[in-house]
Structure 1
Amino acid sequence: MSTDASDLGLPLGPHDDEPHGLGFNNRLNWLRAAVLGANDGIVSTAGLVVGVAGATSDSKTILVAGVAGIVAGSLSMGAGEYVSVSTQRDSEHALLEKERRELVEEPEEELAELAAIYAGKGLSDELALRVAEELTAHDALGAHAEAELGIDPDDLTQPWHAAWASMLAFTVGALLPLLTIVLATAALRVPVTMLAVVVALAVTGWASAAFGYGPVRRAVLRNTAGGLVAMVATYAVGSLLGTHVL
């Protein structure tokens, strides 16, 4: 159980809303997957339907292409996230198992290593050794894994969380450009879709920065610029191919 300033009877500081408790690693994991999925769903589907709209004005063709893109994209994103995060989790388990074995076979060497880590952070040798001894006595694996490996044994990455977050976010994000371009009139469908996509990407950029404690302006500009480039490029390709093929 985590301890905060109020539990110790200390006054709350200006940064006490920062994420210090358990679960932040998984929060970042599914947040990253959700934001990536939403962005990919918005941009890839918008690029697909805008590109098709550049080649043909037939709403049915655009709809079929968009739905096929959503199904393929959401499954691909989910599978990709599951494989990627599963590989990371397997590595975490292997490193933790190695640390468990070393704590049993080489307890003195591990204690000295932990003390050296804290001494390297600025503690005196005596204080670093005392801190290492107390942390090892309280939770040996947790203390050594966090200090040496940067892993919290109680907060390992969850592959299914990332997979579902990515799939659902991709689908939700992809529905916006698809519905916009299908429901809008033929003359306005491309500019209206581009405008809707820019707004949506600005929102996802803001959300990723807000929940991930990053710079908002940079995230918004990065998202919207990438989406615009993708849509303009695919529309140009669709228009070129539609002129010469259809």
Structure 2
Amino acid sequence: MTDTTHDEPHGDALGTRLNWLRAAVLGANDGIVSTAGIVVGVAGATDSRATLITAGLAGLLAGSMSMAAGEYVSVSTQRDSEKAALAVERRELREQPQAELDELTGMLAERGLSQDVAREAAEQLTRRDALRAHASVELGIDPDSLTNPWHAAGASFLAFTVGALLPLLAIVLPPVSSRLLITVLSVLAALALTGWWSARLGAAPAGRAILRNMGGGALAMGVTYAAGTLLGAAGV
């Protein structure tokens, strides 16, 4: 019988994938809401398609670059922390290997192994790869799969851009008479989808997440539209 255990998502690999998916959904959601707020607000003040395109593209680029830069800084900080923690482990393994073996034994015993089995497992793991064993058990880090800030920044940029394109296209492509209605309905439908998907990733009730997502988006569009209408009426 074929061994398929290596093809199944387990542990850190599955958690990493879920984190990436959740970040992508949240990035797309931010792109939808922020860009919809901008273009709907501007639509309240003017019917000019050129102005809407300019405002929407400016919001898309500013938001996507901000998301990418923020994610890069955040993940770079996390990566630096992981590298520093691994450097400490390397030094401790080099300077006090017996104490580190005892520490690993204790951590394995805390996970339910008997003392003898924990000791044997710690010795085997240490002989195989001491740093990897301590990184995994003690720090929850895979030394060969450290977080990549460039990947995180690119994913955030792409997710935000994809989300932002929906309200931008919805506001500039339809006729003037129906563009606002089409934009609002499109945005609410997209927010329902991202709310459902984020709830599914978090194993949470979907209904509440969908209503919360749609409510936040509707509020953002309502406030910016009212502001744009007032400014347009005042001739600002």
| TM-score after normalising by structure 1 | 0.85
Q: Which has the higher helix share?
A: 2
Report the Cα offset of residue 200 of structure 1.
1.4
1:69 partnered with 2:42? no
How far is the alpha carbon of 1:103 from its aligned partner?
Answer: 0.9
Residue by residue over 1:1-28, the C-alpha shift from the partner in whole angstroms, topping out at 9 and shown as x without a partner, is xxxx9639xxx8xxx9963166445534
Match of 2:171 in 1: 181
Q: Secondary structure at the match of 1:188?
A: helix
Aligned to 1:187, what secondary structure does the other structure show? helix
Matches within 5 A, 1:114-125: 114-125=104-115
Between 44-53 and 133-142, report the one with greater CA deviation. 133-142
The letter of the residue matching 1:149 is L
Q: 1:206 to 1:19 in 2, by over 3 A?
A: farther
2:3 aligned residue: 7
When residues 65 and 184 of structure 1 are mapped into structure 2, their CA distance, relative to the original with a 3 A threshold, is: same
Distance of aligned partners of 1:101 and 1:25 in 2 relative to their CA distance in 1, 3 Å threshold: farther
In the alignment of these two chains, the number of paired residues is 235
Amino acid at match of 1:142: R
Report the residue type matching 1:134 in the other structure: Q
CA distance in 1, matches of 2:80, 2:209: 31
Partner of 1:106: 96
Query: In structure 1, what is the Cα distance between the partners aligned to 2:23 and 2:103?
Result: 35
| Aligned residue in 2 for 1:214 | 203
1:225 paired residue number: 215
Q: Does 1:37 align with 2:33?
A: no
CA distance, structure 2, for counterparts of residue 149 and residue 21 of structure 1: 14
Q: CA deviation at 1:96?
A: 0.7
Deviations 1:126-170 (A, max 9, x none): 222122112222221111111111111122111111111111121
Q: Take 1:24 and 1:174, find their aligned partners in 2: how far apart are those partners?
A: 28
**Residue ranges of structure 2 left out of the alignment (5+ in a row):** none
- Confirm whether residue 59 of structure 1 aligns to residue 49 of structure 2: yes
**Matched residue, 1:140:** 130
Aligned with 1:151 (options 138, 141, 145): 141
Higher alpha-carbon deviation: 43-52 or 227-236: 227-236
Q: Is the 8 A contact 1:22 1:155 kept in 2?
A: no
1:77 and 1:166 in contact (8 A); partners too: yes
Q: Note the C-alpha offset of 1:209.
A: 4.5
Gaps of 5+ in 1: none
Structure 1 counterpart of 2:217, one-letter code: G
Post-superposition offset of 1:37: 2.1
Contact 1:205 1:216 in 2 (8 A): no
Structure-1 residue corresponding to 2:194? 204
SS of the aligned residue for 2:176 comes to coil
Partner of 2:152: 162
Quick check: 1:94 aligned with 2:84?
yes
- Aligned mates of 1:28, 1:156 — CA distance in 2: 16
Give the TM-score taking structure 2 as reference length.
Answer: 0.88
Task: Tell me the distance in 2 between the aligned counterparts of 1:107 and 1:220.
Answer: 52
SS at match of 2:234: helix
The alignment-based identity, stated in percent, is: 62
RMSD (Å), alpha carbons? 2.5
